[in-house]
Structure 1
Amino acid sequence: MAAAVKALNARIRANKYADYFCSTHFWGPASNFGIPIAAVADMSKDPEIISGRMTGALSVYSAVFMRYAFAVSPANYLLFGCHFINCSSQLVQGYRYMQYWNFGGRDAALKAKELADSSQGMAAAAADKAKDAVKSVGK
């Protein structure tokens, strides 16, 4: 049995593509791609739910591992790409967080919601008046 495993391993290592596919240089970044995918998906969500501390931590984490991707031998470009996407996404999320909580974005959103609610009330009142006018003309 051990000889069969050894033969299979030698066969895999002989092909450079199979060797790469079976290595941690591929599976590490491939399994890590869930983080940047989630960060990109979160960009369309409400900025009120963004955690400033977690965004900062993930930005630093990705920046460190972008450097690490070139420090290992051979350089791991897939790992670099994964962390580049994540770092960029986290920086965008950090900007959205700062804009919402520190630079007046929350106040603007509340005013816009308040204005929308009042305009819906005015539209409903105008519709009721229009219905009453139609009823009075029809009599």
Structure 2
Amino acid sequence: MKVYERTENGTVTTVDRKAGLDEINAAMMGKTRKAVREMSSISRTDYAIEYRDGRDVRLVLVDAPEELERTPLGYVVLEVQGRLFAVWPHIKRKHPKNEHGMTCTADHTTYHGYRNGEWFGPSRIASEDNKAGTVGAAVWAALVSKGLA
């Protein structure tokens, strides 16, 4: 599936194909074309729109990011080293001291084994400080590669 990556004055958002084409068509032929200073088609998939109010918009057709499988409780299912893990997608950030007086020295999250549609086993920690080659380090690397950490 394709979507448009919309960049307005440096701020990047993703819009669906219809919304992107609607903005392109409105800038070329619609009611808002009087608000457009310059419109150019860079290629068949890239468009640049400069509005009279100073906004610069660039629309680029890209592949949609893959949807991640989620468990009913909101965990993200990731395959790491040939095994499935249910990973909590909300990263706990490092901080000097929390309300319990505990210090956290690294960003981290929790994960469990995942099989037959359910997570199982003890809660484990994946963090940016995990020793290289461990499952926790591999889970953290998978989170980073998916843009979740």
Q: TM-score, normalised by structure 1?
A: 0.28
Q: Name the larger-Rg structure.
A: 1
Structure with greater helix share of residues = 1
Q: TM-score, normalised by structure 2?
A: 0.26
Structure with greater strand share of residues = 2
Q: RCO (CA 8 Å, sep 6+): is it higher in 1 or 2?
A: 1
